[in-house]
Structure 1
């Protein structure tokens, strides 16, 4: 970030599209891993089946962490939660072990729809993580920064 650029501002205009994207992706992932993906899973070798199951859990966990973090932001913006309540460590974006084809080459053996969901969930998680980091970088927790910036905006 340059000196003249402003820090990330977490507003409903930013939260709402991310929230909609996360919900849609979670629904898509649920549909795939619970239905179509089960047939795809049966075509895999035993170790890849385990990997498939682990990755489906990572996708779900990533998305639930993102949705939870965005819901906290929505609650603060709506005045339903104070910045102090929202800034506790338990309400920060949770950690999920990454899914990286360079570190786990067997990932490339998973079905294309599973790989697409893994990548999309990872990209969304990374975007939200960068937003949170940007808020933290400017000396405030995500929720406190949200409250302060909303106050400035309105």
Structure 2
């Protein structure tokens, strides 16, 4: 390891064990609950009156949205278990292999996207931002030697700013 690496402080490791993590955890779980309530209530009603193309897109995106949120909730629960001493880091690493935090991007130019209910699109956007924050934190904690994967719509400076925002709670 280089001399620089020996003096490097892992902000992500500190975030994962801090009050900022509790805030991230609460935000993630709240978004899961809010999304479930929307999809079972207003979203169900709104989806029934969508044009055909938007209706098909709504069905596909709602499945992606719930999958994305469940993956993030799984990661947050695993990290909370480590923080609380309920699981060892090795146990979490074994379970974490089942969690997928990357690859759930959305094509906002897809036919019918503009016809989707605004509340639904807002949930999708918020879930993507939260996914990005969790994925950045995951890479910094568990895979610090890997180059960060930066979404198409974000540059590396924005990715680092997102990590800092997560670390210091400035959402």
**CA, structure 1 residues 5+139, in 2 after alignment: closer, same or farther (shift >3 Å)?**
closer
Q: Is residue 63 of structure 2 the alignment partner of residue 60 of structure 1?
A: no
What is the TM-score with the length of structure 2 in the denominator? 0.71
**Runs of 4+ deviating beyond 4 Å:** 2-5
Q: Which runs of 5+ in 2 are unaligned?
A: 147-171
Cα distance per residue 1:2-45 (max 9 Å; x no partner): 98873322214232111111111111111111111122112211
Counterpart position of 1:134: 140
Counterpart position of 1:100: 107
CA RMSD of the aligned region, Å? 2.3
Q: Is the 8 A contact 2:28 2:72 kept in 1?
A: yes
Q: Is the 8 A contact 1:62 1:125 kept in 2?
A: yes
Q: Is residue 76 of structure 2 the alignment partner of residue 70 of structure 1?
A: yes
Offset of residue 136 of structure 1:
3.5
Q: Distance in 1 between matches of 2:125 and 2:44?
A: 19
Q: Which runs of 5+ in 1 are unaligned?
A: 141-154
Q: Is residue 42 of structure 2 the alignment partner of residue 36 of structure 1?
A: yes
Q: Distance in 1 between matches of 2:133 and 2:114?
A: 23
User: Aligned residue pairs: how many?
Assistant: 137
What is the TM-score with the length of structure 1 in the denominator? 0.78
Counterpart position of 2:9: 6
